[in-house]
Structure 1
Amino acid sequence: MLRVIGILLLAMVYQTATAQQADENAKDYLVYASVYQWYGELDSNENWRQNHPQVTLDFAEYPQSSWTQGAHQILDIAPVSEDSASNNPPASHQVRITLEFYPAVADSDHVTGQYMQQLITFSLDYQQVLKVETEMNERDDFESRYIASADTNLIRAFLYSWTQGLDEPDSASLTQWLTSDAQVNLAETQVADIIDYQAHMQAQGLTQSRRVIRNLKISPLDEQQYQVEFEYQWSAINGDGETEIADIGVSLRLSVVDGKVSVHVYTEQYLAPKTDLGAEVRC
């Protein structure tokens, strides 16, 4: 009986892990990067007005419905399905965000938060926020410790954009985040720098590259610098049609100054495999 229960529990764990993996693989990194970038800018300063000149906001989370310092802690990101039956291409994209908002209060680190749901309308390329509509705004009946979120939101936005750039080298220039003296050490030791990565991928004949971010840890070093640690669970299809996989440990030292993320040190290394995935071939 215990053996049967054990088998059932293992099956449940496997199904849960498989479902979580499928959910991670379904993430559109461009969407996630754009959402975190928006809230990072909104929580940093009022430069969002220049960066998104067409945006319309209802300011529902702010006291007196006027922008002030605050922290948007994102809980869920759900792109709104578009009408596939329409013959007209979409003019914009919409994403529904569930979040907790904490207003900054002078001389107090304990505040009353608000559980919110907002609908964001992005431009077609996700570079501009056009409209933010509040669909739900419920005030908490308890106090929480205020934790600033601007830098962590901007770092998460960077990580999604950076990861998409690694998976799809044509989608973004990764050098835009590197300082002039940045130290970059890739897991593929034969790759001299990040610029050569795309050529290396093509030479290897790898397609459908996908990196899933695991075990993310963001640690402040000082007011502007951060140590970031995480793992990539990487999969790709080789020229023989086989799935190659690898776990890669990543360590970064970066800074966030005036809403801009800059990478000073980026280091990767292959990790020992954690599971035997049978027919799949590990990188």
Structure 2
Amino acid sequence: MKKREAVKGAALIKTIACDSAADRPRAEALARALGLELAETDPAPDTWHLAVTPERLELRQCGPKAPGPVFVDLAGGRLGYRGPRVSARKEPLARAVGIKGGVIAPDVVDATAGLGRDAFILALLGCKVTLLERHPVIAALLADGLDRAAREPELAEAAGRMNLVRGDAAHWLADHPCDVVTLDPMYPHRDKSALVKKEMRAFRAVVGDDEDAAQVLEASLQAARERVVVKRPVRAEPLGGQAPDFQIPGSSTRFDVYLTRP
């Protein structure tokens, strides 16, 4: 089974740290589960590591010019603002997966779960969402974020519709037919002058590019009973050169929709 950490150019996470003695038991448990070393001193500059804090699990880079930590936050930030305002009519993603008023929301497999933001929007709209993530560190961040969301009264119902599975999407989909599959693959970044946001820099450094994205699309087309939705940069070519049935445009991204229903 292909693992993201084996992708050429991806940084290898070797250590996990904790910010307080009270967090040490949890850090030790995660170290055993993920095969990491528990850091007894500050990690070396320019390296990446996991950190257990009293509030959450974080992915950090060390060094004076390092960006801030990356973590899964389904309650705050943009999602915290959008959550009460999410509606099928206003969300391009909802239209892309086929959510319509008066129609039961489809079961969705998010085959490239990442930080879980798109999956959470779909869960807020009533979809049952299976989140697939093959990189163990990203899966750990997701598990931590989902656990925290489940403890928030206003988020618990949506979080209960989300199920995290650590595994390779192409292999998993071969045995699990579903209504809809969504994909948001990493793609080779060639514009060196572009300012890429913190999370994307971290993903590119730690996860690498999804070089098998076209193969995952093929597996998704075989597994989905209704459609496959691929999130793409607005000017990017269709994934694998395969033209979609239609597109839902946006300002910086678009959704390519492939219908699979006979």
Calculate the TM-score normalised by the size of structure 1: 0.28
Higher-Rg member (1/2)? 1
Higher strand share: 1
Work out which structure has the larger RCO, using CA pairs closer than 8 Å and 6 or more positions apart in sequence: 2
Higher helix share: 2
